[in-house]
Structure 1
Amino acid sequence: MLSFSVLPDGFSFPLVLRACANLGDVGLSEIVHCHVVQMGFQYNVHVGNELLALYWKVGSVEVARRVFDKMVVRNIISWNSMVSGYAFCGDCDGAFGIFVGMESEGLEPNLVTWTSLLSSFARCGRGDELWELYDKMKRKGFGDSAELLAVVISMCADRNAFCKGKMVHDSVVKGGFENYTIVRNSLICMYGKNGALGEAEYLFSELEAKSIVSWNALISSYAESGFCDESYEKFLQLENSNGSPFVKPNVVSWSAVIGGFASKGRYEESLQLFRRMQLAKVVANSIAISSVMMACAELSVLRLGKEIHAHALRNLADWDMLVINGLINMYMKCGSLKEGKSVFYRTVRKDLITWNAMIAGFGFHGLGSNALSMFHDMIGEGFKPDECTFVSVLSACSHAGLVAQGRQYFDMMKREFSIEPQIEHYACIVDLLGRSGLLNEASDIIKSMPMEPNAYVFGALLNSCKIHKNTDVAEDTAAHIYSLGSETSGSIMLLSNLYAASGRWADSAKARLSAKEKGIKKLPGQSWIEVKKKVHIFSAGKSVNTGMEDIRTILDTLGLQMEIMDCTQRESFMLDTDNHKISIHNMHEECMLCELS
């Protein structure tokens, strides 16, 4: 058009600007904007509105604000564009500021304005203010819309607002909105995330056309309620359904089931699902990657964790805070402190979880001084610690035996940061004092607790009694555990072993017999090692991996060979058994036995 010297006007510019927004081309948008200014159309209200929509869509918040401020004439669309733009960016204060300015200029907000405003507060998680605004809207005589009800219902997924959610559901039924898919999907989420899975299942079954959003709402509901098997069953139903080709598992579906298994501690299944997702050519999002990182951290599979890190880098997800925090947690828990610190110091915008992961990681490996140094660096950066921070700090002091510092930080919680110690903090301080032999002081702490001690608190003290062989305090502690009705195999075995270490064999046998009568079984400890991408598991008393027969055969043969040889002489020999060659060079008998064990 321009090449034929036909100039654009107030009708053609909006169309071109809309095309630029759909393309997301910032450079092209700026060129067209220059044309608008050169031809004097920047004061045209329709052109101005399209410029606002364009810059909000490409994420140029400051430019959008400047365009809005320079508009001579604004209509309701101009104001709504600004409110919805701030809502899209999750800036509810900015959205509310525009809303107030709109009212001050005498313009009455419409239903679109209210929906965008409420949406901004929903995105920010500020439910109380959302409800105040919703009540204000209703008092002004505004009715509901499907979009507005979906926004309001989304805030009722929180358990504290479930009763309000049921009231809104009544409004949905009375207003005839229950057959709107967007509303029903929000209701499925609300009931599902509050554990009312029967209602969620019913609402889903009543949908005539089930979209992928509907399926994901139900799958996520089961996963977040802890029913990962049921969530996976729904996922398989979606995967095997013969519906629309567009209704098939997407990244949200995969992320929900992967996260569900990870949150229940079923990490191997979580990793297997991630592999399946990769084979299905579905690019993982930050939620899926962070879930897999948690699985790698708990299983201590560093090689796989590095592989996932590379995957995140290839898919440009390493800048996401969920991924960054997952990486730090994984590296620190796997003992790769150098890589963990490297990710931490490369991160420009850290949040509290980032700092907590570092503090917990240092404490986990007994590096108490490093953990406390990181804590003070965090304070110096202007971050306020939370309950999780102090659990990590106290745990670090316990692992490193820093008694004086542990007392100091326990007192600091309430005195400087107004954080009331919870049951986890008391368990940490009892563990710290008990490990250091201060059993009476640990007992006094338990007696002074403002809440009822649980099995974890008493268990920490009982473990300390075993370390210091104090049967008197142990018996009293065990009595408290029994009175709670929550005795575990761990606590009973601790007491039994303590009796045995003190030579009280009858009491040791009595404790074990008590466990047997109550049907309490101790799960055997396990160790595992990964060799050539294969995991070998060793268990106390037996082995669940193959190949142990060959090892025992070789050991028996070596034992026989040592009996017939003079092992005190410094000599070498080569043994070949079942194609296994073992060389032992110039070793004394003790050295050989130590090496073989």
Structure 2
Amino acid sequence: MEIMRSHWLPWNSHCSSHKLVSVPYKVTLRNLEKTTFISCSLQNNATSLRLAENPSEKSTYSRGLLTTKSVMDVSKVNRIIKECTEDGFFEDAIRVYLDFIECGFPVEEFRFFPCLIKAFGGLHDVNKGKQIHGHLLKFGFLQDIFVKNSLLGMYWKCGAAEDAVDMFERMEKRDSVSWNTMISGFCQSGEYVKSLVMFRRMITECGGSYHNRVACLAALSSCASIKCSIHGLEIHGFLVKNGLDSDEFLVSGLIEMYMKCGDIKNAENVFERIRDNELVGRNMVVWNVMILGYVSNECLSLALELFVEMLKLGISPDSSTVVAVLVLCSQLLDLAVGKQIHGLILSLGLDDDVRVGTALMEMYFKCGDPETSLQIFKRSQNYNLVMWGSVMLNCAQNGYPNEALQFFSEFMLDCGFPDPVILLAALRACSFLSLKPRGMAIHGFAIKMGFDSDVFVGGALVDFYGKCGDMEYAQQVFHGLSTRDLVSWNALISGFAQNKCADEALKAFRDMQSKKIKPNTVTMACILSVCTHLSVMILCKEVHCYLLRHWFETNALVNNSLISAYAKCGDIRSSWTVFEKLPVRNEVTWNSILLGFGMHGCTDEMFATFEKMKKINIKPDHGTFTSLLSTCSHSGKVDAGWKYFISMMEDYNLEPRVEQYTCMVDLLGRAGYLNQAYDLIMSMPCSPDDRIWGSLLASCKNHGNTKLAEVAANHIFELDPSSVGYRVLLTNLYEDSGNLNEVFRVRTEMKQMGLKKQPGCSWIEVSNSMHIFVAGDYSHDQSEDIYATIESLSLEMKRVGYVPHIQAASNKYWA
């Protein structure tokens, strides 16, 4: 037979029926040319093998370890194969074996096949693995139990579960390693139930003779993965019966299993039993598993207490311990404790650990100290992809999108090849800033790297295009995804909702359900925002019923959205009912009901609710005062408005934002205090926007102050030259004052700029049916009756003394 170095062919007589598969590495042996083929006979085994020309970075041959037959012996071959395999140079290890054969040594003299088989397993290629299996079968080496076990392990590494099972079932003799390999193999490949079945079978067939740590750990890990505490209890009993319940590794496995199953009591029982054991009780891994278990089950105070006790006992924490405690601080939002842990990390010299550095950054970000987090990142000497991704994602999610994009640029310069997490962070930042050109460039890079099919990157792209208002491209990206998970659907529905595409959002929600994708709280909050936009009562009630049927009614996000939706749909009673039934209310909940009361003019109820909010020590935020000031504005309560505005600054140390200033300007303007309103705008520490000037302009129109209106209008048109509504408002003011020349000038400017006012649209729900009306529209099938009723009402209003405001001068001018 021939050994040809460039391609692999099977180790059996049917090699001619198999295609050549390229394996990258280079061989230059005994000064032969790269294209030279070396042939030697392996008795009657017709086999061909070719090795490609691209070597590993550290070639065995470049070390000069195996060059001539005169220095070759079996022990040296074994040592070299073992070293290559341990260092990850699997192809070099296999090449050494081939040289062994080429140099004329009989195959029977080689007795280190388990190590060679491990090298084949490292290639993760089942076809190549079958070659060595066939080779061993041909020469009769499969009688050795060590060889069989090595082949089992190789098949599991190659992901060939069926081949592993087939070989296991054909084994006449099995030892503990055989069973361990199968139990662990099923567990590591995600077949947790099969792993437990194999463990039970081992106990049944072998009794207690083969019980050992490896099998039990794999079985416990399987129980933890599927959260099956019943089987976990059985394994626990088996360990107690066989005296293995004090093994430090198995104790850790038991605690982890119980914690992942949510059985904190049994985890504590296991931990308490070994605390007095000198060896196990002071094992740091056991304490780490216990602390992490408390954190994962949100028993944060217990985790902190256990960590303090660990320190008192003199057990020095490692990186895993402090990472768990930093996660605890992040969840508690306890910056003070986090800073103490930071000091401990510095004293222990763990600050150079990448995992610790990443956890520290996360903690400072979540606890509201992003500056320190950024300093930690900039001072760090050890960066990896996780750390880069963490700082970018946290910047994007915590109001530092520009910094996130700056870090992305630095990463591209330093490293060059991002992973999906880093692209995800960059896209989040672009979404926050609505930077469409930059986001499209990142999209192109994702396509080039082949990450556009990644479900997380795909969802971020849909969200990005939705935030930028390009729903057409968002849909194109969405439909191009090979897999669409809940996040992708939520991004699409949210995009439709944010861009006022209500019908499309509802259709996407129905399509998602038809694909058997179960909605979550984010989905339902988006759908409720659609109800709020449409103000359709029947739709709001349908969604509420859906929430009740699917057990969403206890979620804070959903209930807050539901309160707002009912209020916007005109049913403040239902909003109040939802609010009263909530067992827990956060700041957003109180703000939602306050806004609803203000929207419906229920000023007394609103002020009373605010007082209740203060009594239970719920601290009001900017949203709270926006609702209060808006209600004061619409009800004309100037004194109350000033009281809340001053209280906001003095009692709660909240610096007013543009929204609160806009409410105050509207309040003063409606009451006729136009100069005070103007002075307030000019004294603002922040830059006024077009909305606050528009509020002043509307008040000037109502009170006929043309001079101040022109000042406000000039500011508006500087900020937004394409504004239509405010130009129409200014025109109406000129009409009221009889200044027809200015009316003509403004309208001429609008025509030259191509600006047109969109006709008003309104709708009303009658008997669960929607009736939509557009200004000047006669398409409704009852339009004659509708306009006749309007005429009748107008006559009735005149009869009781109402004098309509008729712009006769304007009509005459434009006739």
TM range (shorter): 0.7 to 0.9
Q: Tell me whether 1:353 sits opposite 2:592 in the alignment.
A: no
Structure 1: runs of 5 or more not aligned: 239-246, 560-586
Instruction: Provide Cα deviations, 1:512-559, integer angstroms capped at 9, x if missing partner.
Output: 44443443322221111345765432111225x5536xx44x789x99
Pairwise CA distance, 1:335: 1.6
Question: Could you say what secondary structure the match of 2:762 adopts?
Answer: strand
Question: Counterpart amino acid of 2:463?
Answer: S
Instruction: Provide Cα deviations, 1:68-125, integer angstroms capped at 9, x if missing partner.
Output: 5765325454355356556656899988888888786335426995638845864873
The 5-angstrom pairing of residues 475-554 of structure 1 reads 475-482=710-717, 486=721, 488-504=723-739, 507-530=742-765, 535-543=770-778, 545=779, 547=781, 551-552=783-784
Instruction: Provide Cα deviations, 1:154-188, integer angstroms capped at 9, x if missing partner.
Output: 32434626546655775688679x37555655565
Counterpart CA distance in 2 for 1:485 and 1:191 is 23
- Indicate how the Cα distance of structure 1 residues 42 and 325 shifts in structure 2: closer, same or farther if over 3 A, else same: farther
Q: Which deviates further from its counterpart, 45-54 or 219-228?
A: 219-228
Counterpart CA distance in 2 for 1:314 and 1:39 is 48
- Indicate how the Cα distance of structure 1 residues 444 and 184 shifts in structure 2: closer, same or farther if over 3 A, else same: closer
- Indicate how the Cα distance of structure 1 residues 128 and 214 shifts in structure 2: closer, same or farther if over 3 A, else same: same
- Indicate how the Cα distance of structure 1 residues 588 and 37 shifts in structure 2: closer, same or farther if over 3 A, else same: closer
- Indicate how the Cα distance of structure 1 residues 291 and 478 shifts in structure 2: closer, same or farther if over 3 A, else same: same
Counterpart CA distance in 1 for 2:259 and 2:686 is 51
- 2:649 is aligned to 414
Residue of structure 1 aligned with 2:393, choices 154, 161, 166: 154
Question: Could you say what secondary structure the match of 1:206 adopts?
Answer: helix
- 1:115 is aligned to 355
Pairwise CA distance, 1:358: 0.9
Structure 2: runs of 5 or more not aligned: 1-199, 324-353, 800-815
- Indicate how the Cα distance of structure 1 residues 79 and 493 shifts in structure 2: closer, same or farther if over 3 A, else same: same
How many residue pairs get aligned? The number is: 548
1:414–1:421: 8 Å Cα contact kept in structure 2? yes
Question: Could you say what secondary structure the match of 1:379 adopts?
Answer: helix
- 1:574 is aligned to none
Q: Tell me whether 1:298 sits opposite 2:533 in the alignment.
A: yes
Residue of structure 1 aligned with 2:459, choices 200, 203, 216: 216
Q: Tell me whether 1:383 sits opposite 2:622 in the alignment.
A: no
1:455–1:487: 8 Å Cα contact kept in structure 2? no
Pairwise CA distance, 1:495: 3.0
Q: Tell me whether 1:203 sits opposite 2:445 in the alignment.
A: yes
Q: Which deviates further from its counterpart, 527-536 or 50-59?
A: 527-536
Question: Counterpart amino acid of 2:289?
Answer: S
Q: Tell me whether 1:229 sits opposite 2:472 in the alignment.
A: yes
Counterpart CA distance in 2 for 1:314 and 1:588 is 45
Residue of structure 1 aligned with 2:635, choices 397, 400, 406: 400
- Indicate how the Cα distance of structure 1 residues 446 and 248 shifts in structure 2: closer, same or farther if over 3 A, else same: same
Pairwise CA distance, 1:439: 2.8
Instruction: Provide Cα deviations, 1:233-286, integer angstroms capped at 9, x if missing partner.
Output: 200222xxxxxxxx4212111100111222233333322322322333322111
User: Normalising by structure 2, what TM-score?
Assistant: 0.58
- Indicate how the Cα distance of structure 1 residues 252 and 116 shifts in structure 2: closer, same or farther if over 3 A, else same: farther
- 1:81 is aligned to 289
- 2:571 is aligned to 336
2:420–2:456: 8 Å Cα contact kept in structure 1? no
Pairwise CA distance, 1:357: 0.8
- Indicate how the Cα distance of structure 1 residues 407 and 186 shifts in structure 2: closer, same or farther if over 3 A, else same: closer
Q: Which deviates further from its counterpart, 366-375 or 516-525?
A: 516-525
Pairwise CA distance, 1:324: 1.5
Instruction: Provide Cα deviations, 1:282-334, integer angstroms capped at 9, x if missing partner.
Output: 22111111111111112101211221222223332332222121111111111
- 2:227 is aligned to 24
1:331–1:340: 8 Å Cα contact kept in structure 2? yes
- Indicate how the Cα distance of structure 1 residues 229 and 555 shifts in structure 2: closer, same or farther if over 3 A, else same: closer
1:193–1:225: 8 Å Cα contact kept in structure 2? no
Q: Which deviates further from its counterpart, 179-188 or 299-308?
A: 179-188
- Indicate how the Cα distance of structure 1 residues 435 and 191 shifts in structure 2: closer, same or farther if over 3 A, else same: closer
- 1:373 is aligned to 608
Question: Counterpart amino acid of 2:252?
Answer: N
2:439–2:464: 8 Å Cα contact kept in structure 1? yes
Question: Could you say what secondary structure the match of 1:524 adopts?
Answer: coil
Question: Counterpart amino acid of 2:456?
Answer: V
- 2:523 is aligned to 288
Counterpart CA distance in 2 for 1:203 and 1:319 is 42
Q: Which deviates further from its counterpart, 180-189 or 465-474?
A: 180-189
2:713–2:726: 8 Å Cα contact kept in structure 1? yes
Question: Could you say what secondary structure the match of 2:319 adopts?
Answer: coil
Question: Counterpart amino acid of 2:538?
Answer: R
Larger-gyration structure (1/2): 2
Question: Counterpart amino acid of 1:399?
Answer: H
1:466–1:495: 8 Å Cα contact kept in structure 2? yes
- 2:142 is aligned to none
Structure of greater relative contact order (alpha carbons < 8 Å, 6+ residues apart): 1
| Two-structure CA RMSD over aligned residues (Å) | 4.3
Question: Counterpart amino acid of 1:373?
Answer: A
Identity rate of aligned residues, in percent?
Answer: 29
Counterpart CA distance in 2 for 1:63 and 1:409 is 53
- 1:327 is aligned to 562
- Indicate how the Cα distance of structure 1 residues 181 and 467 shifts in structure 2: closer, same or farther if over 3 A, else same: closer
- Indicate how the Cα distance of structure 1 residues 222 and 83 shifts in structure 2: closer, same or farther if over 3 A, else same: farther
Question: Could you say what secondary structure the match of 1:420 adopts?
Answer: coil
Counterpart CA distance in 2 for 1:100 and 1:354 is 36
- 1:563 is aligned to none
Counterpart CA distance in 2 for 1:250 and 1:474 is 52
1:526–1:540: 8 Å Cα contact kept in structure 2? yes
Counterpart CA distance in 2 for 1:444 and 1:5 is 90
2:693–2:715: 8 Å Cα contact kept in structure 1? yes
Residue of structure 2 aligned with 1:309, choices 544, 561, 564: 544
